[in-house]
Chain A
Amino acid sequence: MKVLAAMSGGVDSAVAAARAVEAGHDVVGVHLALSEAPAALRGGSRGCCSREDAADARRAADVLGIPFYVWDFAARFTADVVDDFIAAYAAGQTPNPCLRCNEKIKFSALLDRALGLGFDAVCTGHYARLCTNLLRRAVDDSKDQSYVLAVLTARQLAHAMFPIGDTPKAGIRAEAAQRGLRVADKPDSHDICFIPSGDTRGFLASRLGSRPGAVVDDVTGEELARHDGVHGFTVGQRKGLGVAAPAADGRARYVLGIEPVTGTVRVGSAAALDVSSIDAGTPVWSCGRAPGGPVPCVVQVRAHGGLARAVVHVDGAGVRVDLAEPLRGVAPGQTVALYRPNPDGDVVLGSATITAAR
């Protein structure tokens, strides 16, 4: 097959490309330039769009002996991922930009261009397994990225290749070293790539400015504090609420809900965070069609953690998820990923966007 390997400059995508080459595919490496001001990120070695990362990707491609190009997707990335991220926070939601990047950039804009140019597949260094069109969790549970891939359609998955999901991270690093790839011991990137400082709140404040509002008690409606904008809060957050007086029961307060129009942040007890039922819309089914009847599942509501057993009911254009055990930190706008439990690795059934949680 003709395979386009997306190479971020990290160890995972380098080994993924190496494995695609070794499997006998005709591989071309492409680094996506995602920052509209790459010079400004020259020092941001933890981001995925610095010059250093592009150079690392190029070096890895040279070692593999494959052609390598840098493609400019900065405008698309800004519109579809960064602006979407900012708008979601402004709307009181908690977006996952990696998920959006997979959905809109890597397996949409990039994949479409690749197919147009005669490639058969896009290969990435995501920790997930894809065999006979079934998307499964990675072997390395701590690195599993199937959640941020659960938004992909059957068509997108048909042209995807995730070669490293069958190996733990430590094994990937060892393999990189053995293959002579200099990125073998390059530190993992943990932060959002377009916020290399890691200061998400500062980034949002610089984009959204000050939008003052009140922090109120969910039960009494009492105003407990003022804040500079709802974008500084996510549902389930405990720290940084700015509330001086302790709660009547002496327990910690959590963000329970965010009302972007009025700028109100409702806070209350941990128990009030628990949800037992989730409504979600615009589902995507990894196999291409909705399952019939109620489906016993494991659901996941964020990239790491947030797992619960559940029964999923397909309901017209949406799904209702009845949780067997309560989940916390569930907010509208988040993606709920649905898995069919399997001892060989849970299989992704699909995903949907949370509209309400009770």
Chain B
Amino acid sequence: MTYLDHAATTPMFTEVVVAITEALSRTGNASSLHSAGRRSRRAVEESRERIAAAVGARPSEVVLTTGGTESDNLAVKGLYWARRQADAARNRVLVSTIEHHAILDSAQWLVEHESVDVELLEVDQAGRVHPETLRAALARDPERVALVSVMWANNEVGTVNPIRDLAAVAHEFGVPLHTDAVQAVGILPVDFAASGVDALTLTGHKLGGPYGAGALLLGREVALTPLLHGGGQERDVRSGTLDTPSVIGLATAVELSIADAPRRAAALAGLRDDLVGKVLATVPDAQLNGDPGTGVVDGGPSRLPGNVHLSFPGCEGDSLLMLLDAQGIECSTGSACTAGVAQPSHVLLAMGADEATARGSLRFSFGHTSTSADVDAVAAVIGQVVDRARRAGQQASSAGRR
């Protein structure tokens, strides 16, 4: 198998599997007062410190959650409620058009249930949010804005946003900024304190850690209303017994991935550029979407090093995916599904692509287990796969005219 869907989930590091496995057989609720509880709490707090140190945060700023979706929901709804409670006029939420559905749907929920005005921040053709766009949106009615959320690096097309500048703009208006950084942490230089953001989402399974374990980094001064009520385990903003083995696994993965990030980023960028070159040599009218990856943003690359996102004119993404799957190549259309149906990517549409282009796209994403053999496997079959998908598309459309 050629696994090129690391942006969906990447294999767990062996060290993580070992650490979790060892921890699984130890009893102890981290909230208990006896020795088993103390032992578990110590493991959790050490893990929290390791995560904090790796991402440039204070330990108290690490709110442990079940992952990206929970952290995003907590940030958008929790920040909104806290801000509105302090000032009832704050009922505007600004999010970018290229956010993950965990952000977009949370914002939409606020529209439907809390009468919030959500404003979508436009992106350029590369899928990037410009600080001026944010400034203009904030300046229209700054007193009413509750929060801004812009993702650090886009999960579909890999474009990196100038988060430091965006946070600075938000702060000019006294508005907090959240960023979904699940694709960024572990490969891009992410420093919570230096970035200036008020809240940041990270998750374990995108960086070699376990599923169902993540964190919301939350500035010490930032007020947030909880979603989950109960024991108040995490700073009283998130309740629920902590999953000690997973927390240990998360900390191990965050440390390992970040320590190795510069080397891996260079290696993945090499594989990425090799794959793009080989595909374009075989399918000249294929088109790379997103930032070309040659620039620098906040001291790091302007595109996720492991992300290749291509449009193949005349092809259905569904067809390409199936044909590649049959050849043992696992990739993604990169876009969300509704009832299992691939929707035209909202990210590509926001970048100005037409619906046919948005439907005819594939994402290949590299990770820590990728090798040049993966590139060669795709290069060997992409020509015939695209030809076949094009024929299927032509037959279907000529049948439609019949």
Contacts and interface: CB of A to CB of B under 8 A. Distances in A.
A9 to B, nearest CB: 11
A117 B341 contact: no
B322 A51 contact: no
A108 interface: yes
A118 B319 contact: no
A116 interface: yes
B130 interface: no
Nearest to B402: A108
A203 interface: no
B151 to A, nearest CB: 25
Interface string A15-51: 0000000000000100101000011000000000001
A271 B105 CA distance: 61
B326 A113 contact: no
A62 interface: no
A39 B343 CA distance: 13
Interface stretch (B50-58, B86-94, B391-399): B391-399
Interface string B366-402: 0000000000000000000000110111111011101
A54 to B, nearest CB: 5
Contact of B395 (A31, A38, A58, A115): A115
Nearest to B396: A113
B137 interface: no
Interface residues of B, number: 25
Contacts of A69: 318, 321-322
A177 B142 CA distance: 62
A238 to B, nearest CB: 39
Contacts of B19: none
A31 B322 CA distance: 13
Nearest to B322: A69
A70 B341 contact: yes
Contacts, number: 65
Contacts of A113: 319, 392, 395-396
Contact of B319 (A33, A38, A117): A117
B1 interface: no
B399 A109 contact: yes
8 contacts: A28-B322, A38-B341, A54-B339, A67-B326, A109-B399, A112-B396, A115-B395, A117-B389
Interface of B: 318-319, 321-323, 325-326, 337-342, 388-389, 391-396, 398-400, 402
Interface of A: 28, 31, 33, 38-39, 51, 54, 58, 67, 69-72, 74, 76, 108-109, 112-113, 115-118
Given A72-B318, A108-B402, A117-B319, 20 more contacts: A28-B322, A28-B326, A33-B339, A33-B340, A58-B340, A67-B322, A67-B325, A69-B318, A69-B321, A71-B341, A108-B399, A109-B400, A112-B396, A112-B399, A113-B392, A113-B395, A115-B392, A116-B393, A117-B388, A117-B389
